[in-house]
């Protein structure tokens, strides 16, 4: 059912609902005999209100799945770490937040596409694979690699954390699609072709070279990759793609797709967010959009913030006019670019858990609650007040319930919808 609340628009605000309940009880107490007579005469008694769901109990009972998180390496810039030097996705924080499953993305950012750049991308990808294996080993047997939806559910029943492997940015592959087989054999079951910057497979919604599109969407290699992912039963991630590349991917895929860390462009006009048309395409394919607590994608910049960033850009020799705060930084030398990005991080416009759920609400109303989920993008710069690490996951459940989502809807948002599309990808696999 595509409506957010199938029997009404939104529930009454809690103070009003409480007042209505109190009045109903008072009336019943004053007119007990008349009410009883009315009931006997055939007048239906009002149903008793359902008790409010306990957020802590709901969070403990359901499958809580984070559909996208990053992997920190020792040389990852410090702006991506917590102030105390910790990880937002540490096993301890995952347990503290009641998170039952997490997709760690084997991802690399933009960079050279020559032999040296390719070698560094593959080296980083291999290091991230090893880091995830170390994360699992460090759990003391309380986490295991999941290679299927059945594995996720089994590990949840066993009280263990299910770890899935994702893949992001086909720059890792250079121009060799067959190289993906190594990652699939290692357990990758979710894959996205793009990150910041175009590559040989697809155009990125965040071009780094001043060229808006290289392929007009997907290259022929990218089209073959979509077919290959389908054949392997790998769920395709369309976050970070240009509108043309997303549309082509959705049309080519035999099964539903997922956007693992994207928000609503109708609320914040950022190229990384999804337009209404893109949301509709994903719904039509049966897919899911996972909202992410990444500040720049959650709140539109106000004038004061834009003025502050304009001054900061001028300090670093960049034009004061900008569409995106880091626009033009790809042309800076590496040390200057790192200092500039550190400064941008320190001057981010604040955002909150409420902002995140506003985007979730919008997408759920647009395409249905069965097409929305959560992908934190933790350890790649994401984090907002109220949801700044996996330890805060229960706050999301509480906010969803406070806004009137039912227990069943919360369960679908946190894990059920994602499991459905994982199963659909598995069902589309071709043997042999």
Beta-carbon contacts of 400 under 8 Å, excluding residues fewer than 6 positions away, are: 357, 360, 409, 410, 413
Backbone region of residue 328 per phi and psi (left: phi > 0; alpha: psi in -120 to 50; beta: other values): left
In 3D, which of 282, 231, 183 has the Cα closest to residue 432? 231
Burial (CB count <10 Å: 0-12, 13-18, 19+), residue 308: middle
**From CA 314, how far away is CA 322, in angstroms rounded?**
11
**From CA 44, how far away is CA 321, in angstroms rounded?**
65
pTM given for the model: 0.86
**From CA 127, how far away is CA 174, in angstroms rounded?**
17
Q: What is the residue-level pLDDT of the chain in tens, covering all 432 positions?
A: 333 433 233 333 333 333 333 333 333 333 333 333 333 333 344 444 456 789 999 999 999 999 999 999 999 999 999 999 999 999 999 999 999 999 999 999 988 889 999 999 999 999 999 999 999 999 999 999 999 999 999 999 999 999 999 999 999 999 999 999 999 999 999 999 999 999 999 999 988 877 888 999 999 999 999 999 999 999 999 999 999 999 999 999 999 999 999 999 999 999 999 999 999 999 999 999 999 999 999 998 888 888 999 999 999 999 998 877 888 887 888 899 899 998 988 888 899 999 999 999 999 999 999 999 999 999 999 999 999 999 999 999 999 999 999 999 999 999 999 999 999 999 999 865
Beta-carbon contacts of 113 under 8 Å, excluding residues fewer than 6 positions away, are: 171, 174, 199, 200
End-to-end CA distance of the chain: 37
**Residue 425 Cα distances to 306, 414, 429, angstroms:** 42, 19, 7
Helix (H) or strand (E) holding 290: strand 288-291
What are the φ/ψ torsions at residue 259 (nearest 5 degrees)? -105, 105
DSSP structure class, residue 159: T
**From CA 298, how far away is CA 361, in angstroms rounded?**
12
**Residue 158 Cα distances to 95, 144, 161, angstroms:** 14, 11, 9
Burial (CB count <10 Å: 0-12, 13-18, 19+), residue 360: buried
**From CA 164, how far away is CA 191, in angstroms rounded?**
11
């Amino acid at each position: 059912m595509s409506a957010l609340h199938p029997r009404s628009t939104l529930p009454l605000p809690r103070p009003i609902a409480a007042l209505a309940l109190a009045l109903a009880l008072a009336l019943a107490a004053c007119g007990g005999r008349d009410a009883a007579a009315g009931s006997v005469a055939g007048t239906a008694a009002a149903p008793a209100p359902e008790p409010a769901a306990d957020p802590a109990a709901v969070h403990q009972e359901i499958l809580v799945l984070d559909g996208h998180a990053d992997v920190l390496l020792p040389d990852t810039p410090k702006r991506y770490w917590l102030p105390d030097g910790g990880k937002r996705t540490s096993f301890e924080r995952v347990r503290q937040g009641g998170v039952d499953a997490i997709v760690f993305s084997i991802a690399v950012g933009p960079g050279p596409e020559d032999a040296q750049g390719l070698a560094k991308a593959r080296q980083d990808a291999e290091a991230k694979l090893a880091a995830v294996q170390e994360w699992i080993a460090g759990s003391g047997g309380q986490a295991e690699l999941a290679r299927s939806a059945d594995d996720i559910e089994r590990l949840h029943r066993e009280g263990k954390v299910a770890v899935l492997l994702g893949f992001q940015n086909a720059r890792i592959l250079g121009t060799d699609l067959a190289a993906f087989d190594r990652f699939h054999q290692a357990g990758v079951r979710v894959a996205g072709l793009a990150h910041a910057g175009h590559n040989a497979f697809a155009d990125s919604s965040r071009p780094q070279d001043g060229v808006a599109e290289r392929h007009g969407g997907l290259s022929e290699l990218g089209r073959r990759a979509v077919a290959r992912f389908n054949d392997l039963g790998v769920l395709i991630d369309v976050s970070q793609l240009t509108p043309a590349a997303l549309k082509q991917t959705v049309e080519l895929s035999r099964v539903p797709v997922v956007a693992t860390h994207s928000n609503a462009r109708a609320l914040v006009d950022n190229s990384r967010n999804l337009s209404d048309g893109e949301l509709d395409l994903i719904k039509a394919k049966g897919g899911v959009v996972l909202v992410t607590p990444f500040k720049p994608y959650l709140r539109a910049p106000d004038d004061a913030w834009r003025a502050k960033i304009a001054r900061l850009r001028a300090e670093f020799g960049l034009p004061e006019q900008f569409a995106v705060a880091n626009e033009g930084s790809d042309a800076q030398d590496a040390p200057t670019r790192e200092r500039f990005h550190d400064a941008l991080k320190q001057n981010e416009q604040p955002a909150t858990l409420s902002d995140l759920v506003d985007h979730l609400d919008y997408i759920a109303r647009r395409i249905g609650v069965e097409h929305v989920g959560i992908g934190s993008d933790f350890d790649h710069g994401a984090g907002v007040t109220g949801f700044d690490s996996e330890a805060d996951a229960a706050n999301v459940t509480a906010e969803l319930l406070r806004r009137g989502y039912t227990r069943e809807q919360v369960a679908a948002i946190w894990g059920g919808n994602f499991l459905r599309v994982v199963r659909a990808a598995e069902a589309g696999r071709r043997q042999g």
